[in-house]
Structure 1
Amino acid sequence: MTKLSIGPWIAAQKLPSPGLARDRAAFLERVKVRAESPSVAGFPLLGTGGSCGKPAFALPYRVTWDEENTLALEEVAREFGCFVEYGVYPHLKLEDGGQEVAAVQDWSTFGTVYLRPGYERAEELLVRLAEVLAPQSVVA
């Protein structure tokens, strides 16, 4: 699998220069791309994280953290050369340098995965996280 293909979609919405920060017309022009929201590996893009700017993808189930799925999360992290940093929610960071490549939040009616778009294995990581975090009743 590859890194996320939605980079141009996200880039088209970013503030191109500080001088346009108060330009409503420029903002309205940039957000026209939101009329069609892409998906990756069948997971709908929700938008981007407020502070981190990473694309957010909806999982088709709610995530409730427990011993079993945090251990599974740590195993997936190892598969991808990462470790898990437990803050308000878990973040997967590369062992080599500590760059954050993913985060999984659980405080809504569905799980959300945030991914670094330039990470070479982002789509593969999204699919693996969806597999291992799925409640057993959803897997069947």
Structure 2
Amino acid sequence: MPKLTVGPWIATQKLPSKALARDRQAFLERAQHRLQVHEVAGLPLIGLGGSCGKPCFALPYTLSWNDTNTRELEQIGTEFECFVEYGVYPHLKLLDGEQEVAAVQDWTTFATVYLRPGYERAEELLITLRDRLAP
């Protein structure tokens, strides 16, 4: 399965230069791109991570971490050559180089997955997380 296909959309959201950081009109023009609806694997793209800029997808269920689903997440990590780093919420990081490729958040009334758009197996990972973490 491919990388995420929303890269061009993400690029339209980012500040193109520091010179435009105080330009309200330039911001409003970038914000217009948010009206475009995007989905990957049937999951809606709901925004970008504030600090990381990774696209964020809503899972179709709520999620509360427990022993069973954290073990499942670790198994998924193994299958994708990743390990789980448990911070505020779990992150999947590549064994080779420790690059973060995904994070799964459970703080809201629905679960979300943040994915590195350039990760070669991003869509496959999103589908796997959706299917195997479902309560």
Query: Could you say whether these structures have the same fold, taking a TM-score greater than 0.5 normalized by the shorter chain as the test?
Result: yes
> How is 1:41-60 mapped onto 2 (pairs within 5 angstroms)?
41-60=41-60
In 1, Cα distance between equivalents of 2:69 and 2:6 = 28
Which residue number in structure 1 is paired with residue 6 of structure 2?
6
Question: Aligned letter for 2:26?
Answer: A
Structure 1 residue 30, shift from structure 2 partner: 1.1
Give the aligned partner of residue 138 of structure 1.
none
Tell me what 2:123 maps to. 123
Equivalent residue for 2:82?
A: 82
Secondary structure of 2:91's counterpart equals: strand
Partner of 2:95: 95
Q: 1:110, 1:50 → 2: CA distance?
A: 18
SS in 2 for 1:12: helix
CA distance in 2, matches of 1:35, 1:115: 21
The TM-score normalised by the length of structure 1 is 0.95
Quote the sequence identity (%).
Answer: 70
- State the aligned residue count: 135
Tell me the distance in 1 between the aligned counterparts of 2:128 and 2:28.
36
CA RMSD of aligned residues (A): 0.5
Which residue is 1:62 aligned to? Answer: 62
**Structure 2 residues not aligned, in runs of 5+:** none
In the alignment, structure 1 segments of 5+ residues that lack a partner are 136-140
Q: Deviations over 1:23-75 (max 9, x none)?
A: 00111111111111201000000100111110000001001000000000000
Secondary structure in structure 2 of the residue aligned to 1:130: helix
TM-score normalized by the length of structure 2: 0.99
Letter in 1 for 2:23: D
Structure 1 residue runs of 4 or more that deviate by more than 2 Å after TM superposition: none
Partner secondary structure for residue 77 of structure 1: helix
